Amino acid sequence: MSNLNLAFYTYFFGTNDNPAFAIPDFPSLKYKCYYYTNNKTIFEKLKETEWIGIFIDIEFKDDVYEPNMYGKHLKSMPQEYQELKDYDYLCFFDSKINNLNVNFIEDNIHKYFINDNKALILRLHESIIEIYHCNIRSEFYLSMHQPRYHIDHDKYLNYIDKQLNNGFSETDDYHCNTGFLIRNMKHTKIIEFNSTWYNHIKECGIQCQMSFFFVKQLFKEYIIPIDGKLIYKDI
């Protein structure tokens, strides 16, 4: 299979004490892979790997909300970053994810982007679907077990109620995990999708799966949800 104009990227913003402090396995020697961080320890460690480290010289006052929101911009708006803006396809993944199956990613780019007209591929949220069904309030209640989300309890509820009043549905036939995203940056709707999602993130907060639940209802014909287990190599 010929090389695609594809890049991988991830990020970590915060201190060494943050549980997300990690450098994942390098996903591919075939494609460029970018790691964005403001953490000097991680940036130095990246020099010992194949990752292209991008240092963001910002110190955050709040070690939970502010670095998370900065990361959400990178996650949702890659077209605004010099290193990423010229790629046809981008694969974002959470820095805690390892062992990505690059062949699977290439195959899906060919299947859904090149031979079809889709804009985004991401994982199904299996636990929400199988146990709680696809209701936005299930995502909300599960999220409240995590302190970084619970602190904005009322903000999330107000956001959900506003979207329901705006005509969005409280339930859907599937729900997604946004820790892994393959984007077709050539698609005519991808910039609109990215911008719409980021605007919702700013209003909703750092639990971006809540905002994605509503935004995907606007772009559903261009989104492909996949079995999350398939993104990993067989060990």
CATH number at residue 124: 3.90.550
Is residue 16 over pLDDT 90? no
Flag whether 24 is in a domain. yes
Percent pLDDT > 70 in the chain is 95
Name the CA dihedral angle for 46, 49, 50, 53, rounded to a multiple of 10 degrees. Answer: 0
Q: How far apart are CA 91 and CA 8, in angstroms?
A: 5
Give residue 131's pLDDT band: very low, low, confident or very high (50, 70, 90).
Answer: very low
Flag whether 177 is in a domain. yes
Is residue 213 over pLDDT 80? yes
Flag whether 118 is in a domain. yes
The set of residues, in sequence order, having a beta carbon less than 8 Å from that of 165 and lying 6+ positions away, is none
Flag whether 113 is in a domain. yes
Is residue 129 over pLDDT 70? no
Give residue 127's pLDDT band: very low, low, confident or very high (50, 70, 90).
Answer: low
Number of domains in the chain: 1
Closest of 26, 53, 23 to residue 38, by C-alpha: 53
Flag whether 77 is in a domain. yes
Helix runs in 122-181, H state only? 126-127, 136-143, 147-150, 153-165
Q: What's residue 84's pLDDT? A: 98
Flag whether 48 is in a domain. yes
Q: State residue 140 phi and psi, 5-degree precision.
A: -60, -50
Is residue 53 over pLDDT 70? yes
- Tell me the whole-structure pTM to 2 decimals: 0.94
The set of residues, in sequence order, having a beta carbon less than 8 Å from that of 25 and lying 6+ positions away, is 98, 99, 100
Is residue 139 over pLDDT 70? yes
Domain that holds residue 77: 6-231
Flag whether 217 is in a domain. yes
Residue 215: its H or E element: helix 208-215
Q: How far apart are CA 77 and CA 205, in angstroms?
A: 16
Is residue 23 over pLDDT 50? yes
Give residue 63's pLDDT band: very low, low, confident or very high (50, 70, 90).
Answer: confident
Flag whether 1 is in a domain. no
Is residue 79 over pLDDT 90? yes
